[in-house]
Amino acid sequence: MTDRVALVTGGSGGIGRATAERLAADGTAVGVHYAGNKDRALEAVAAIERAGGRAIAVGGDVADPDAMSEAFAAVETAFGGIDVVVHTAGVMLLAPVTEIDLDDLDRMHRTNIRGTVVVAQQAARRVRSGGAVILFSTSVTRLSLPTYGGYVASKGAVEALVPVLAREMRGRDVTVNAVAPGPTATPLFLDGKDQATIERMAAQAPLERLGEPADIAESVAFLAGPARWVNGQVLFANGGIA
């Protein structure tokens, strides 16, 4: 066991849950954040505890600074501080640029941009020396796939934020990076796609498969722990697709 503590937003499912479980396996105490599904977060906590780890569930809208302040405070109260913040929570709504519903665009930007800034603000104020802040982008910022315009615009903003925040953390011994997954077998990616589309996208990577949440969690664990000389970067975890 270690004395390190992490908060993983969107930790109740998909990449977030895999990340929470991976960090817990390293001995890190984990705050498993959820936005609306407390039961799934409690399931993740129970799975971590069954494996011998330490975890609590914390809720809140990532775009609400008061809610996120309370979530961070709950983790600090339970475990004594925060060393790692992993912000996986996000929304993806697809449409051609000419057909984007502006309400959908506002929803994505509220969660993916404002939410990232809110979480980054709390992380910058609270993460202890030697810690890490890990945000999430997407490999689609390089693939330029049709219908992803609004989503990519929101994640491009996250990539632009990373090196700026890394420099603003000068003197704190805290790294700031982002992970940009490629096609990964999660509901966020799979929902709304037919089997032919899924197979075609899986075949694009030289490794000829979709990523698994555990693959992305390994990249996060690298940035959260041993990768102290990686800072201000976007790590593309996509099996070579881009």
- Per-residue pLDDT of the chain in tens (242 residues, 90 and over written 9): 468 999 999 999 999 999 999 999 999 999 999 998 999 999 999 999 999 999 999 999 999 999 999 999 999 999 999 999 999 999 999 999 999 999 999 999 999 999 999 999 999 999 999 999 999 999 999 988 899 999 999 999 999 999 999 999 999 999 999 999 988 887 767 676 788 888 887 888 898 888 899 999 999 999 999 999 999 999 999 999 87
pTM: 0.94
Spell out the domain ranges in the chain: 5-180+214-237
- Which is nearest to 7 in space by CA: 167, 220, 229, 160? 220
* pLDDT computed for residue 204 by the predictor: 85
| Cα distances (Å, whole numbers) of residue 14 to 18, 187, 188, 236 | 6, 7, 8, 18
* pLDDT computed for residue 1 by the predictor: 47
From the candidates 148, 151, 189, 236, give the one annotated as an active-site residue: 151
- Which is nearest to 27 in space by CA: 174, 221, 227? 221
CATH 1.20.120.1200 fits 5-180+214-237, yes or no: no
* pLDDT computed for residue 194 by the predictor: 80
Q: Is 151 a catalytic residue?
A: yes
* pLDDT computed for residue 187 by the predictor: 73
* pLDDT computed for residue 2 by the predictor: 63
First to last CA, the chain: 36
